[in-house]
Amino acid sequence: MKEDKLIHNYNTPIAWMADNKVAANLLMMLLIIGGVIVFTQTTQEIFPAFDTDTVTVSVSYPGSSPEEVEKSIILALEDGVKDIDGIGEISSTASEGSARVMVEIIDTDERIRVAQDIKSAVDRISSFPEDAEEPVVTLMNRRRGVVTLALYGDADERTLNSISEQVYDKFTQNSEIGPVEIAGSKDHEVQVVLSSESLRRYNMTLADISAKIKSIAIEVPGGTLETSSGDILIRLTERRDSSADFATIPIKRTANGNVLRLGDIAEIKRGFAEDNSKTAFDGKPSILIEVYRAGDQTPISVASAVKQEIEDLNKTLPGNIRLSIVHDRSKVFKQRANLLINNGILGLFLVVIFLGLFLDIKVALWVSMGIPISFGGAFLLFPATDFSVNLVSMFAFIISLGIVVDDAIVVGENVYSHRQKGMSPLDAAIIGAKEVAVPVFFSVATNIVAFIPLFFVPGIMGKVFRTIPVVVICVFSISLLECLFILPAHLRLKKKAKKKDHGILATLIRFQRAFNNKFESFVNVRYKRFLEMMINNRYGIFVIAVGVLVMAYSYAFSGRMGMVLFPRVESDYAFGKVTLPLGTPKEKVEQVMKKITDAADRVIAQYPEGTLSRGVYGRVKSNSIESRIFLTDPDVRPISTKEVTKKWKQEVGVLVGIESSSFVSNRGGPGFGAALTVELSHSDSDILSKAGEALAKKIEDFSNTSDVNDGTASGKVQFDITVNDYGYAVGLTSSEIARQIRASIYGLDSIRQQDGLNEVTVNLKLPDYQRNTETDLDNVIIRTSFGKKVRLKDVVNVKKGRAFTSISRRNNRRIIQVTADVTPPSQAGLIKETLQEEALPQLKEHFPGLTYSFEGKQADMMESIIALGIGFIVVLAVIFSLIAILFKSYTQPIMVMIAIPFSAIGAVLGHIIMGYPMSIMSLFGLLALTGVVVNDSIVLIEFANREIRAKERLKKALMEASVRRFRPIMLTTVTTFVGLAPMMFETSRQARFLIPMAISLGFGIIVATLITLILIPVLYVIIDDIKGLFSVNNPDIAAKNV
């Protein structure tokens, strides 16, 4: 009858659910089982998929110099797109033979519309050179690579290319394998080589023969012939594919009536475009094949399917040609996923252990059930978002692990306390839950609010880490539902009759009770006495606390800790890049490549076979060499990627006559890139180059800088040609001369046609021996419009100069970037400040009109800090408003929020102890910390206010509230810390970029707890003292009405 009366008196959703275990259990099973079902259908990937906010416009202009590309293409493109609504920064690069313009989109939701507007604007441009190819407008998308394969062996290019196409066909027919891309193969070409003697003999030019090929080698539909017996399709099929087909093309009829065919006067072969590119794997010619995932495919499933196909293909490949996996990102996914899962399981185990230590075993188990219930329920909400299972989302679950049970701890501990006082199970469950329902709701609300600004972090970084607030908000929302409507029903625990007092369980129970008795004694005696002393000496304590706060912040902002965008994470390969001067002979470039790869082989040979490397890849393209040592798994390789890279660089030694070189161990991962990037801009290119060289020398003066690049490089020798008076007198124009020079030196692209996977270009040109010296240029025969033939040197003036390597532009101004690495990277900020104070003002004074900005990591970091700073202010305002509404006071939120600045002390100390620099991930943790650290304070102040409303004296009320809330406050702190501890103390190199956020949260919550248990009661009394000075009423009464 008593419980029936209780339900009648507490006719609320909490009471109804507490009394209805069936409803609570069904809801629990729905959340857990439903979550498991949704999990099995959720996309798995290494990192979150996202759309980029960049449109790229590419134009190919073969044979042109960077300056010519800038003037004739880049300027036209920039002018054409600059007024489009919704675009931000415009960056351009003019290189030899190509132009590339990248346009930033401001609003992601408008990306399709903006891309279409850019395409329309580009299509309207009519001033491009005649020989420039059609512009290609691309809305950049991030592809999700899984496996990199090397096809290699002792074979020529054509054989390898043919086999790579077979591999492509085989993979694309497998539905378990995503998109496939062949990398490193050259463009296909039908080369038609005609000597100048043959052309003169038959009075023809390359342009004449090109026109013949264009008019004959075609395939054109002729329509449909409708006959009485049915429709007949008509088609002209004169298309040529092989070199033999092209040889039959009739060129002209000779004087004796014979047909002169192309094969009679030209050497024709099907091959590849002329360039000095070369790829090799383990010293053998190679082609790389990239395999991606798409849709619901998982990295692991794609990799498994690829491995099976490789096994079958290797059985059929000729000779010593082999197909091998050199980089398997699914292993990275599996390794890091296992790392996070193991840390999560260990964290869960520690949480349960500590809950069982402070609470009744059964209470601890039911409180711990909040974790799987909240995680499972969150998966039911994820389909409404773009959630996927990836490394970032798994890390978000670890962040939630210790925090998610905070509300359940508060409810469970309060119910447990009422049961300890002799209250009936149902009575304790309902009253215990209802007493803390409001502060628990506001605590969860502050947690959610603190993570919301992570949605608004700009750039690629914001897109990657946007998964964290999605996970945390969904988990916290379900945890609030669980602790108020499921947990109370499970906490209706009835005391059972004593059984045999022996066995492991009985021993554990005795230990837990003994620990709890000592803990209760410590809280009721030692802590209470200590707190009373703190309150009695409150002003001294407050001054000391403020002093510690000032010292900690002074150290943090002094620059000694340093700041990085991300801690550097080692890749699964060592990467080296060397750039030689443009125009360096092919033989010289290949010698340098061999020296680099031989050095890699020597490093590998220092360790047992198969323990360090999967192979060495090298690629030459123009004047640039790239090489990679693909390494074995982290748990197999005897040394780190950093050590491999260091040894490799030492083995290579000094390279003479190069422009730049770099060897890095973290390419492609978080923290990759130059630690310092200064961008200079000036309208005069010569001044810009001199300024870059001067700044580079200033940066080299710092003892901790290396790999300094001044952003300039000598381009190829360039002949600037102008038409002389005689040239104009014989009727030549600049356009006619330019086109004939281009045909004689570069050649003519006659037609393009598709052949299977490849676009094939038919290129006409003179033999190499007639176009490789300055004399050949002088002797180029130019034909006038009247049929007269003259030598080039007779009709033009030639001035010798030097071309640019490439020309970079940003927002319509030429730029160069001076870059450097800094050791340690966290000290780049100090170098930046020194340059701003000294070197850069001097440069601006010496080179009037020069402007500068910090780009790269400094720009990304500043952009993120500004966004987080704004988010932090908004979070503080919202948290203040929520607490003010809860307490109906403007002063009490200040007491609660005093823990926020002090919690940062813990984060700073944590980074110092753990040996990590502050990073953007650290700031993410600090931002999240603002919501977490106020939770305990909210409940403490709520209980203190309740005691005061019960006519208790202020000091007594604070003492009672602090003692009563000591256990749940300690529990929430301990569970949060131990939930994060496995991640914080993880030694794996793969987890480095995530650890700083865990450090900020874990160590910050410890300091915040000390503030909650000591400083907040002190501050409460101080504020009351201040109010008492202005109160006209009795001080004791005033104290009770705070």
Highest mean pLDDT among 73-82, 153-162, 391-400, 409-418: 73-82
In the DSSP assignment, the letter for residue 389 is B
Residue 3: pLDDT band (50, 70, 90) is very low
Outline where 43-110 has alpha helix (H): 66-69, 75-81
The ranges of the chain annotated as CATH 3.30.2090.10 are 191-267
Q: Rounded to 5 degrees, what angle do the CA atoms 939, 942, 948 make?
A: 145
Reduced to 3 states, what is the DSSP secondary structure of residue 496? coil
> Of 16 and 786, which is predicted with more confidence?
16
Give the number of other Cβ atoms within 10 Å of residue 671's Cβ. Answer: 18
The pLDDT confidence band at residue 5, using thresholds 50, 70 and 90, is very low
Using an 8 Å Cβ cutoff, are 1011 and 1004 in contact? no
- Kindly tell me if the per-residue pLDDT of 584 is higher than 90: no
CA-CA distance, 1033 to 639, in Å (whole number)? Answer: 74
The architecture in CATH of the region 191-267 reads: 2-Layer Sandwich (3.30)
What is the mean pLDDT of the segment spanning 958-985?
A: 83
For CATH 1.20.1640.10, the residue range(s) in the chain are: 1-41+359-497, 524-569+856-1042
- Residue 1039's pLDDT is what? 43
Q: What is the structure's pLDDT at 1037?
A: 43
* pLDDT at 356 > cutoff 60: yes
- Going through 665-795 in order, the beta strands assigned E by DSSP cover 676-681, 705-709, 714-723, 748-755, 758-765, 781-783, 789-791
At residue 199, the pLDDT reads 87
Q: Is residue 859 classed exposed, middle or buried when 0-12, 13-18 and 19+ CB atoms within 10 A define those classes?
A: middle
Percent of the chain at pLDDT exceeding 70: 94
Say if residue 7's pLDDT is above 50.
no
Determine what percent of the chain falls in helix, strand and coil, rounding each to the nearest 5: 55, 20, 25
CA atoms within 13 A on the CB side of 75: 10
Q: Are 545 and 614 in contact (CB under 8 A)?
A: no
Task: Please work out, in degrees rounded to the nearest 5, the angle formed at the alpha carbon of residue 862 by the alpha carbons of 858 and 868.
Answer: 145
CATH superfamily of 1-41+359-497: Multidrug efflux transporter AcrB transmembrane domain (1.20.1640.10)
| 596 vs 3: which has the higher pLDDT | 596
Tell which residue, 709, 986, 672, 643, has the closest CA to residue 825.
672
What CA–CA distances, in Å, run from 732 to 723, 725, 782? 8, 10, 9
> Is 50 exceeded by the pLDDT of residue 1041?
no
**C-alpha to C-alpha distances, 747 to 206, 217, 506, 729, nearest whole angstrom:** 8, 19, 92, 27
Indicate if the pLDDT at residue 943 is higher than 90.
Answer: no
**Summary mean pLDDT of the chain:** 84
* Residue 416 contacts residue 363 (beta carbons within 8 Å): yes
Higher per-residue pLDDT: 601 or 331: 601
Question: How far apart, in whole angstroms, are the C-alpha atoms of residue 478 and residue 494?
Answer: 27
pLDDT higher than threshold 60 for residue 4: no
The pLDDT of residue 1035: 46
With 0-12 / 13-18 / 19 or more C-beta atoms within 10 angstroms meaning exposed / middle / buried, residue 849 is exposed
pLDDT of 1036 > 70? The answer is no
Share of the chain above pLDDT 90, in %: 11
Yes or no: domain 524-569+856-1042 corresponds to CATH 1.20.1640.10: yes
pLDDT score recorded for residue 984: 82
User: Hey, how many other C-beta atoms are within 10 angstroms of the C-beta on 345?
Assistant: 12
Q: Could you give the 3-state DSSP secondary structure of residue 523?
A: helix
User: What is the model's pLDDT at position 381?
Assistant: 93
pLDDT of residue 671: 62
CA 668 to CA 327: how far, in whole Å? 13
Rounded to an integer, the average pLDDT of 111-126 is 89
For the segment 588-610, the average pLDDT, to the nearest whole number, is 90
Q: Residues near 898 by Cβ (< 8 Å), separated by ≥ 6?
A: 1011, 1015, 1016, 1019
Residue 54 has pLDDT above 80, yes or no: yes
User: What's the pLDDT score for residue 935?
Assistant: 81
- Fold assignment, 51-141: Alpha-Beta Plaits (3.30.70)
pLDDT at 663 over 50: yes
